[in-house]
Amino acid sequence: MIEKLRLKFIIVSMVSIFLVLFTILFFGNLYLYKNINFRNDKILDILTENGGNFPKREERFEKREAKPMNDEFKNNNLASKLFGINFELNEESRFETRFFSVAFNYDGEIINTNTGFVASISQEDAIDLAGNIYKYKKIQGYKNGYRYRV
């Protein structure tokens, strides 16, 4: 009797722990996935606005002044900065981001290719990848591990 009760307790405990861990990991990964997509989309917005390149430093990047910690708590900005909810560009963004761009005209012909900010893909690979994306006429998504926007 005690042995059966002990076995049931162990099974219930293990299932409970599994469910709690699964829930934490599921929602944590979901949050990270959404955050990564949000940041990638913001970078793609900037690249799209500027013809496939980052803007010049003085146009977009601003020097940020250090604020005392109390101001951070008063404005409730600390949590958003800790969890990456807000997205800001800084002077290092152009060096932290690996990207390439391929520009098409209205007839579908390639007019410009820029692979200067990524070492893992050649110009020919970029043209092939962009051609495949152009055929499917999707506006944005993932292809071969790269986030794209048309």
Residue-level pLDDT at 6: 94
Distance CA 94, CA 55 (A): 9
Query: In the numeric block, which tokens belong to residue 81?
Result: 């900065």
How high is the pLDDT of residue 104?
84
- How many other C-beta atoms can be found within 10 angstroms of the C-beta atom of residue 129? 17
pLDDT at 75: 44
Rounded CA separation 140/149 (Å):
4
Closest CA to 139 of 34, 31, 41, 46: 41
Q: How far apart are CA 149 and CA 104, in angstroms?
A: 12
Q: What is the pLDDT of residue 17?
A: 98
Rounded CA Rg of the chain: 23
Task: Render each residue's pLDDT in the chain as its tens digit; 150 residues.
Answer: 889 999 999 999 999 999 999 999 999 999 999 888 888 888 888 888 888 888 776 554 455 554 444 444 444 444 455 555 566 677 777 788 888 888 888 888 888 888 888 888 888 888 888 888 888 888 888 888 888 888
HEC string of 86-140 equals CCCCCCCHHHHCCCCEEEECCCCCEEEEECCCCCCCCHHHHHHHHHHHHHHCCCE
Predicted pLDDT at 3: 92
* Closest residue by Cα to residue 94 from 125, 50, 124: 50
Residue with tokens 């162990």: 10
